[in-house]
Amino acid sequence: MADRPNVKDILAKARATQAAGSPEPAAAAAPSPAPKAAAAPAPSAAVPTGRPLTLKEKLAAAKANAAPAATASAPVETAPAAAPAAAATAAPAVKAPTAAELGRPLTLKEKLAAAKAIAGATGSAPAAAAVPAAAKPVVAARTLPPLSDMNDPKDLAEALRQTASKPAPAKAATAAKPATKKEDLNLPPRPNKNAAMAALQGTRRRFMIGAIPASAWLVLAWTTFSAALVAFSAMLGRFFFPNVLAEPPSTIKVGPSSQFEPGEVNERWKAEWGFWIVRSVFNGQDSIYALSTVCTHLGCPPNWLAGEQKFKCPCHGSGFYVSGVNFEGPAPRPLERFKLSVGDDGQIVVDKAQKYQEELGQWNDPDSFIPV
Ligand code: FES
């Protein structure tokens, strides 16, 4: 047991060897644990090979072997999250081809890519460039050619930097926005729609009226005047002519006297002609006469009541004998008679144009009856 070194001795010996051989790894170990592991000497080199390694030594040796791999992969893993300084260092590696190299003018895309690469390489990173920019002396801005004529990516990079250093125009526009009211814009007033429509309709009307030729207006006026004159003449002519009534003839043949029986009241012509043919004894003589069917009260047609041997008016109850003389009711006078005559053919002819009234003594007229 006395000749076998313990763990403490091995570790102390390793640290002594580390301190004497390479002082830098200790300083480099500070930023990250990876360099520390890389600086640690391999246990296989420090531990004498006359004995088997302990578990701790094996672990230390394994860590020491794994450290270089971790150190090699560290830049890859930490590259995206690295500080802008690291990015600035890596930027020159991506060199954009120039027009001379390509043998043709650069496209706009290539120009922009080259300009962005140069701008990034020359410290356009905001965090890193912010502090030194204040201390840099003010350099007068170069006069750049128009963007379409730029062939040098450096000019484009300068243009990008100048554009980035200018104040944001959007905010200025936003700040000035409230001033752009309708009144401030000094715009012309909007036209009134109703007035515009009225003016348009007036124009259309004037156009339509103007489209009709003057001769057409003259023809229209004369036509209207002529039509009015014809209508007035027709009305005037009708005024000079009497109304013509299509009345039936006033005379009618009722047949020979022999066909009427004594005491008979024939109603055959009552409805159409308005009279009865009566054969009766009047003033002691058998005679035939034609009695009107118009009541002398208010004009109703009385009815012949054979049972009572009288004419009875249905309107107000006037009663007339078979001779036609009134005897009851409001009728003021007897019924009227029509003129009778005997024709060449022996038929009795009734003429309604001639009337005979009893109260006037006309029933004694020989034309008012036909003796049988
Ligand atoms: Fe015949 Fe009045 S109309 S009684």
Q: What is the mean pLDDT of residues 314-321?
A: 95
What percent of the chain clears pLDDT 70, i.e. is strictly above it?
66
Return the pLDDT at 289.
95
Q: What is the mean pLDDT of residues 150-158?
A: 75
Per-residue model confidence as pLDDT tens digits over 189-248: 776 778 878 877 777 777 776 777 788 889 999 999 999 999 999 999 988 887 777 777
pTM for the model? 0.39
Question: Which residue's C-alpha comes closest to atom 3 of ligand 1?
Answer: 298
Question: Which has more confidence, 131 or 54?
Answer: 54
Q: What is the mean pLDDT of residues 150-154?
A: 73
Q: How far is the CA of 330 from the centre of ligand 1 (A)?
A: 7
Q: Which of 295, 311, 333, 335 has the most ligand 1 atoms within 8 A of CB, as the residue to mutate?
A: 295
Q: What is the mean pLDDT of residues 55-71?
A: 66
Q: What is the mean pLDDT of residues 81-104?
A: 53
Return the pLDDT at 100.
72
For residue 335 and ligand 1, the question of a CB distance below 6 A is answered with no
Atom of ligand 1 nearest to the CA of 330: 4
| Nearest-angstrom CA–CA distance, 345 and 216 | 72
**Cβ–Cβ < 8 Å for 60, 36:** no
Residue 40, pLDDT > 50, answer no
CA-to-CA dists, residue 294 to 226, 247, 317, 318, angstroms: 52, 18, 14, 12
For residue 318 and ligand 1, the question of a CB distance below 6 A is answered with yes
For residue 294 and ligand 1, the question of a CB distance below 6 A is answered with no
Return the pLDDT at 184.
57
For residue 297 and ligand 1, the question of a CB distance below 6 A is answered with yes
For residue 117, what pLDDT band results from cuts at 50, 70 and 90?
confident
Largest CA distance in the chain: 203
Residue 369, pLDDT > 60, answer yes
Segment among 38-52, 111-125, 139-153 with least mean pLDDT: 38-52
**Cβ–Cβ < 8 Å for 262, 278:** no
Segment among 133-147, 197-211, 247-261, 281-295 with least mean pLDDT: 133-147
**Cβ–Cβ < 8 Å for 339, 356:** yes
| Nearest-angstrom CA–CA distance, 84 and 88 | 6
Atom of ligand 1 nearest to the CA of 298: 3
For residue 52, what pLDDT band results from cuts at 50, 70 and 90?
confident
For residue 315 and ligand 1, the question of a CB distance below 6 A is answered with yes
For residue 74 and ligand 1, the question of a CB distance below 6 A is answered with no
Q: Which of 292, 293, 294, 300 has the most ligand 1 atoms within 8 A of CB, as the residue to mutate?
A: 300
Per-residue model confidence as pLDDT tens digits over 338-350: 999 999 999 999 9
Residue 141, pLDDT > 50, answer yes
| Nearest-angstrom CA–CA distance, 111 and 200 | 58
Residue 68, pLDDT > 50, answer no
Helix H, strand E, coil C: the string for the chain is: CCCCCCHHHHHHHHHHHHHHHCCHHHHHCCCCHHHHHHHCCCHHHHCCCCCCCCHHHHHHHHHHHHHHHHHHHHHHHHCCCCCHHHHHHHHHHCCCCCHHHHCCCCCHHHHHHHHHHHHHHCCCCHHHHHHHHHHCCCCCCCCCCCHHHCCCHHHHHHHHHHHHHCCCHHHHHHHHHHHCCHHHHCCCCCCCHHHHHHHHHHHHHHHHHHHCCHHHHHHHHHHHHHHHHHHHHHHHHHHHCCCCCCCCCCEEEEECHHHCCCCCEECCCHHHHCEEEEEEEECCEEEEEEEECCCCCCCCCCEEECCCCEEECCCCCCEEECCCCEEECCCCCCCCEEEEEECCCCCEEEEEEEEECHHHCHHHCHHHCEEC
Q: What is the mean pLDDT of residues 75-85?
A: 39
